[in-house]
Amino acid sequence: MTKTHTNIQDFSELRTAKRITVTRKGILTAENDPLALTSLPIQYTCLIQDMSQTGFLLLSTAQFSGGQVLDFNCELLPGQVLECKVEVVHVGDSVIGTKIVDIDADGKAICQAFLREQFSTRMEKGIASASTGTARRKSDNSTEGAKEKASRPWFSKRRAR
């Protein structure tokens, strides 16, 4: 008798860095793309869904494969462009999970400054919400965020059987 196994991975336990939801436009550049009709680098626009110090969840209509290394550019702070190389670690429906595999000191500083700014801004908003009596509205929004994450298979802690 043969058992059928589903190949659903739970990446939430593998994450060690805090992720923060952001919306920023970025550019992915694929060099030596085996699916390309030309040897020239091909650029794809993408949208950052969330990020951490170690990687990004990107929304893109382009098709990528696991292990593929791409150049990534994004203006995280006004006038400060993050440039790094990312490796595709998982692929979903129109989203790709990436980890940073090559970043210089300037890029690391831009990334850290942006994350620091985002975390402090959100902490201030959380404190302000609680002190003004709008904490209920905030918790309703977090419930919607949890539902959105649960709809993505790699965020779900439940495994399909």
Unique residue bearing structure tokens 């790699």: 154
pTM of the model: 0.64
pLDDT at 86 exceeding the cut of 50: yes
The listed range with the strongest mean pLDDT (46-50, 135-139, 142-146) is: 46-50
Q: pLDDT per residue over 24-77, tens digit each?
A: 999 999 987 666 666 788 899 999 999 988 999 999 999 898 999 999 999 999
pLDDT at 35: 61
Higher pLDDT: 121 or 158? It is 121
Domains in the chain (CATH in brackets) are 20-150 (2.40.10.220)
Candidates 19, 26, 27, 12; CA nearest to 115 is: 19
How many CB atoms lie under 10 A from the CB of residue 83? 15
pLDDT at 13 exceeding the cut of 70: no
pLDDT at 8: 39
pLDDT at 161 exceeding the cut of 50: no
Q: b/e map of 109-131 (b: 16 or more CB within 10 Å)?
A: ebbeebbeeeeeeeeeeeeebee
